[in-house]
């Protein structure tokens, strides 16, 4: 018996990490909305059957969307998306309710309530839970519950779902008319990380020592990168051959529908940074660089500060959170073996994008698309739980 495919909409879709994972869980994205044209082009390239609406969500008419989709009542299964998180981020210089980006969730809900899907998924950075002393999340609950949805939220850790990365996301799930508890995906991999943000203790899923031995081993940086061909710093590459056959289950997953390596290009490093990099061992950082070679700012830093800056990845560990720039000033983005920053494809693999998922636009736009994305394997795990809940209500 073929499992029934479900219909979803992806708002603030970016390059499509969320839709990529939801597709694996049995959802077909029928419409997506994205503000940035380069991100939208990447999404459309990888999801050709989805209708793409490029533009500001605040200008979208929900009634027009409903007519465009021509959906019967109760036919839409899921509205998903992640309103831009810069205003919520613990790293943002301003974190308050006056930031207009912190009100985009209202437009997300405006469209969702016109379409009234069976379930709604909102993802964001952990900082949203403490924004305005929790008032943003409370408002989201109030709006959803008033329309008949059961709502719960958790902070999920990507490493628990086979993603080789230290990444946390706040996940809000709402299911219409549900009386039972909301399901969140339980940890599948024995991976741990320290969550140093408000609400972590209460909202993060725990790994119980009694059951840890039953989980899969965590996916490491080398599990993600070891079969890719070596490249030079700053090189722009098109189609390339793999360096070796798939090394392990993760690479088999990545290469399932791909016979060539794409997007394996990286930013270049200046002569000064190349010299600094020679002093940094695997797992090392700016502390391993001779003092007189450090940037002036780091010469003034305490040894306890900037722990990830100028970091070289350890092959046996996880990567730090992939950001919109794989810049050594921002974190640990030096390749474990080669003297360069990681490529777009390597960043995409660390995010768990399959190799047949292509990124369009300039090199900087590609890095940004990857860094902003929801890890597909994490999205798949969430989507599988939402699918179960929808099927229970049928």
Hey, which residues are catalytic here? 85
How many CB atoms neighbour CB 94 within 10 A? 11
DSSP assignment string, 60-129: --HHHHHHHHTPPTT---EEEE----TTT-TTSS--STTSGGGGHHHHHHHHHHHH--SEEEEEE-GGGG
- C-alpha count within 13 angstroms, C-beta hemisphere, residue 232: 5
Cα 220 to Cα 162: distance, rounded to the nearest angstrom: 9
Which residues are CB-neighbours of 387 under 8 A, at least 6 positions away?
6, 25, 26, 27
> By the 8 A CB rule, do 254 and 242 touch?
no
CA angle 104, 120, 2 (to 5 degrees): 140
Rg over alpha carbons for the chain, rounded to the nearest Å, is: 21
Strands 168-176 vs 189-190: parallel, antiparallel or unpaired? unpaired
User: Rounded to a whole number, what is the largest CA-CA distance in the chain?
Assistant: 68
Instruction: Give the number of other CB atoms < 10 A from CB of residue 248.
Output: 16
Nearest to 332 by CA among 315, 355, 309: 309
Contact (CB, 8 A) for 277 and 298: no
Angstrom CA distances, 43 to 80, 83, 112, 385, stand at: 15, 16, 21, 24
Quick one: which of 253, 196, 260 has its CA closest to 219? 253
- What the block records as the tokens of 190 is 């024995």
| Tokens representing residue 10 in the block | 């992806």
Spatial distance between the Cα atoms of 354 and 340, rounded to a whole number of angstroms: 23
User: What is the spatial distance between Cα 69 and Cα 87, in angstroms, rounded to a whole number?
Assistant: 31
């Amino acid at each position: 018996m073929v499992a029934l495919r479900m219909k979803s909409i992806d708002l603030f879709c970016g390059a499509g990490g969320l839709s990529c994972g939801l597709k694996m869980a049995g959802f077909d994205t029928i419409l997506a909305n994205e503000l940035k044209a380069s991100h939208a082009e990447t999404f459309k390239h990888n999801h050709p059957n989805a209708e793409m609406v490029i533009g500001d969500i605040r200008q979208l008419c929900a009634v027009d969307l409903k007519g465009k989709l021509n959906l019967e009542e109760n036919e839409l299964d899921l509205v998903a998306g992640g309103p831009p998180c810069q205003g919520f981020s613990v790293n943002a210089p301003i974190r308050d309710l006056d930031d207009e980006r912190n009100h985009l969730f209202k437009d997300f809900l405006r469209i969702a309530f016109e379409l009234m899907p069976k379930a709604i998924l909102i993802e964001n950075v952990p900082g949203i839970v403490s924004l305005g002393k929790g008032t943003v999340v409370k408002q989201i609950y109030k709006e959803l519950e008033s329309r008949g949805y059961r709502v719960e939220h958790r902070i999920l850790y990507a490493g628990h779902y086979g993603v080789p990365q230290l990444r946390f996301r706040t996940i809000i799930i709402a299911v219409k008319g549900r009386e039972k508890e909301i399901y969140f995906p339980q940890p599948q991999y024995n991976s741990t990380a320290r969550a140093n943000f408000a609400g972590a203790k209460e909202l993060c899923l725990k790994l119980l020592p009694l059951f840890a031995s039953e989980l899969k081993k965590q996916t490491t940086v080398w599990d993600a990168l070891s079969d890719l061909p070596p490249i030079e710093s700053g090189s722009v590459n098109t189609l390339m051959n793999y360096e070796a056959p798939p090394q392990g289950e993760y690479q088999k997953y990545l290469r399932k529908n791909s016979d060539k390596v794409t997007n394996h290009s990286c930013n270049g490093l200046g002569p000064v940074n190349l010299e600094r990099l020679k002093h940094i061992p695997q797992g090392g950082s700016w502390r391993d660089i001779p003092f007189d070679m450090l940037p002036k700012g780091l010469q003034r830093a305490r040894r306890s500060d900037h722990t990830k800056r100028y970091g070289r990845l350890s092959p046996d560990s996880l990567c730090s959170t992939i950001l919109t720039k794989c810049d050594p000033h921002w974190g640990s983005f030096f390749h474990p073996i080669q003297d360069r920053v990681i490529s777009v494809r390597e960043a995409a693999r660390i995010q768990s994008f399959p190799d047949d998922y292509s990124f369009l636009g300039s090199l900087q736009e590609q890095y940004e698309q990857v860094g902003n994305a929801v890890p597909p394997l994490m999205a798949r795990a969430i989507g599988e739980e939402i699918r179960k809940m929808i099927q229970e209500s049928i």
